[in-house]
Amino acid sequence: AVELNLACPNVIGKPIIAYDFDQMGAVLAAVSNLGGVPPLGVKMPPYMDGPHFERAAQVINKYKGMVKYVASINTIGNAFAVDIAAEMPVISSNGGFAGLSGRAVKYTALANVKKMRDLLDPSIDVVGVGGVETGADAFEMILCGASAVQVGTCHWNEGPKCFDRICDELRAIMVEKGYGSVDDFKGKLKPWSKEGAAIARAAKKA
């Protein structure tokens, strides 16, 4: 598959394509007109507002014959970090403004995975991206509807050994819960309930 990144926040002076839904549709139309396009994935930016989720899904669904998956999310744009010792931005380019990734974006990523899975055509897979550092993180993404996950910041920090560790941790959770395959729990997030809350409190005390 080829992944089309419509979500990069790091092209200086240019807006994120997938925040402009007309432009997003125009880009996908142009790609569809090329002919002979290999299986296509679309990297999505983080959406924060309900109508934006809906508009984005409408655009993607229009090209469901071409788009096989979306990867949610790319980094959250225009984060800023300060180096106290040097009293300057940590990042050299773009005046220090850059995309935020890793643990800090996990809950935004989970929300985007859940929303995209709810709104997209069932033929389009969702790949969960953002803050996946453990098997539990991967489990949460899959439970919210992700068919797969991507790992970026953790790989940068830990190296390729993180992949086996995350997979082993995920398998351990599945065994503990009695799941024989990912399909046993993929997209099967339960609604909030008092019974579930009691289970959560008991688990924290164990």
* Residues catalogued as catalytic: 8
What gap in Å lies between CA 84 and CA 147, rounded to an integer? 41
Q: Tokens 């959770």 identify what position?
A: 173
Task: Identify which of 168, 171, 131, 135 has the alpha carbon closest to the alpha carbon of residue 151.
Answer: 131
Tokens of 195: 């019974």
